[in-house]
Every structure is written in structure tokens, then in C-alpha cells.
Structure 1
């Protein structure tokens, strides 16, 4: 099946965006896409001496998906950043995009998070200590963490995988 195409204007120059996730010049040749270093496909469009990089998934969404609630982000439904087909994209809020990434295991969480203060084993020990009746203040001092972190681990708001039963 041939993909549908929509015109995308950049600085008075026409490009075509296809519903299967490609960008083409007016002569129907595809614009070369590159990886932005975080897994997203990007194209560099030129016009009147100006150049700008565009995420392909955003171009496809802009051209083919209605956004009646003016949502700011485009989510890849199947979690694959290189799959820019229109049926794999949806407009979402920032909160929903993060939630989706966590649900699909696309964003590191718990001890694998970039901001983690504890290892998996330490988080398990905090959880067990709190539920064994050890005061939060003692746990805080032992692990050099805040009361907030102790309580979040205790109620499984953070380090969820580490505190599974």
C-alpha cells in the first residue's frame, strides 16, 4: 500500500511527509534520516540558507493526527522510537508519556534510574527494615537518605521492582 502524503512547509520550501514515517523532497526522493543519539529518527531540512532538524514522529503527528486538546508530546504506542507510522503515534501529555515509558519498561526506574541513591539490595533492606518496625530516623541515618525516600520505598512509590513481595 502506498503511504498517504501531506505537505509540510519549511521556510517556503515544500517537503512531503508520509503516513508510514518518511519525509520526501518534492522530487519524491526520501530525505536522509539519522539517529539523534537517543533512538529517535531526525531529518535536517534546508531552505533559504537555513537548516533545522525535525523529529520525524512529530512531523507525522503534525501532518496526520488531530490534536484537539493541544497535547504537547507524541508517544510511540508500541514503544519503538524508530517506528514512525501514523498508526503507532498518538498525542499525549508529558505525564502520560512518562507513565507509558515506565509501564513499557522503556525508562529506567528504581535502582536503575539515573537518579537512584540506593542499590536494589539497599532498597529491599530499607523496605524490610521499615516494615519490621525500625524507626524511619534510624533507617535514614543508616542509608544516608531522606525520610521522604524511606516512606516512598515503604509504600512502594519508588523502587517498586526491588520491593515486590
Structure 2
């Protein structure tokens, strides 16, 4: 059975410094993202585009969404396949190409999960489940650029 899920946020620009957008340097790129029952997210553009480095930019949020989605699917598949994950970290990175016109696009996202599994789990299966998680990740399935995986699996031993 196919299901449709709906998501809703509210975005409000809070960067009017008194002149609106009268000229390129007259306004801040700051905005606020809100959703019901969630903490407010403070956003801005990347510092390369006159943004505030203390706030999340859309590029970081997209990278975070890809990393988190992969992690959630991976943990699910490990759980149902008797792989006991003890730790999971990802040092994800992305490349975005900016054209002379100012337009741009992501070229690639690299997910680099570093996973610690218990001594009774199958490391080979733990590696394979990354591919399955990638196939199921809603966000990765929705983007038009490459999302690559470079997983590293470590197995916990009694001497760890």
C-alpha cells in the first residue's frame, strides 16, 4: 500500500536591517525555521554569500538530512538483521559547484560512517547493510547528484 506523508515548516526572514532589500548589502540573509513542537532553527546563507557563520545554511541542512536519513535506515536494518551497533558517527562532506552566473548545484555528497559493532555481529553483513540503507533513504532517493558511501566498520573486542 502506498502512503503519502506530509511535512510542514514555517520559514520567516528576520534579516530586514531597516532598508529591506533596497540593495545587495542592505539586508541580512538570516531566517528562522519553525515546526510544531520542535526547537527553532536559526538559518542564514553560507558565509561565501554574506551569511552568518553562527547559523545553519541550507547546504549544511541538506548534508545533515542525507547523513541522518542514512543513519536511521542503517540502524533499522542492523537491528532487524541482528547486527548490534554500539556507536555510529559520520563525517559527511559535500561539493557544490558555483557557476559564473551565481547558480550552482551539488556535485557529490560523501557519507563516511564510522560504526562500532559488538563482537558477535557479522562485519561483512554490517558493510552490506550500508548499501541497503542507501537504497531506502528517502532523501538520497530524492536528489539528483551522487551520494557515495565510505563506511568503516570496527568490531568491539574484550580488550577495547
TM-score band, normalised by the shorter chain?
under 0.3
TM-score (norm: length of structure 2): 0.26
Between Structure 1 and Structure 2, which shows a larger proportion of helix residues? 1
Higher relative contact order (CA 8 A, sep 6+): 2
Between Structure 1 and Structure 2, which shows a larger proportion of strand residues? 2
